[in-house]
Amino acid sequence: MHRNRGKWTAAIKVRGSKITLGDYDDEEDAARAYDAALVKYRNAPTVNFPGEAPLASVLALLPPAPAAAPAAPLPRNARTRTPKVIVDPPAPARTSNARPKKAYVEGAAQRANGKWYNTYLFPGREFDDLDEYRAAKKQRKESGAPRIRIS
């Protein structure tokens, strides 16, 4: 029972549902309604007026008992859950400023078109494969040509 806007409100919980028993001007009337609800819904003895049976007129005014309480949700780890299907994550979307990673071998880098280059040793020159690059590098070493630094 509690007081609400100058009136006494009686309520009881039955099978997980709250039943409002009504608003009463007098605290004693609200207590008698609560005791009658205890007897009707829970088959329990009265608490506010021990030893007194509730009045038949009060029992008649009570609302009907609620249906069975809704089923409790299953725990999160219940075995009835369907197993998760693990799917490979989608490839990250390429943004306009994202560049593919370059492959570096012996100082040469590979372009997107598959050609190899080394702007430090061979500015402006591209090689079709690594063998061609290695041959040019070996020839350069044997000739004793100085390294060129372009800034």
pLDDT in tens, 30-64: 888 888 888 888 877 777 888 878 777 777 777 77
**Residues of CATH 3.30.730.10 domain(s) within the chain?**
2-61
Whole-angstrom CA distances from 65 to 2, 54, 115, 139 are 21, 17, 83, 99
Q: Are 69 and 15 in contact (CB under 8 A)?
A: yes
Assigned CATH topology for domain 2-61: GCC-box Binding Domain (3.30.730)
- The contacts of residue 11 (CB under 8 Å, 6+ apart) are 1, 18, 19, 20, 21
pLDDT band at 76, cuts 50/70/90? low
pLDDT digits (tens, 9 = 90+) for 82-118: 666 767 777 777 666 666 667 788 889 988 888 999 9
- Mean pLDDT score of the chain, rounded to an integer? 79
Q: What is the pLDDT of residue 128?
A: 92
Average of pLDDT values for 11-20? 83
Give the DSSP H or E segment for 9. Answer: strand 7-14
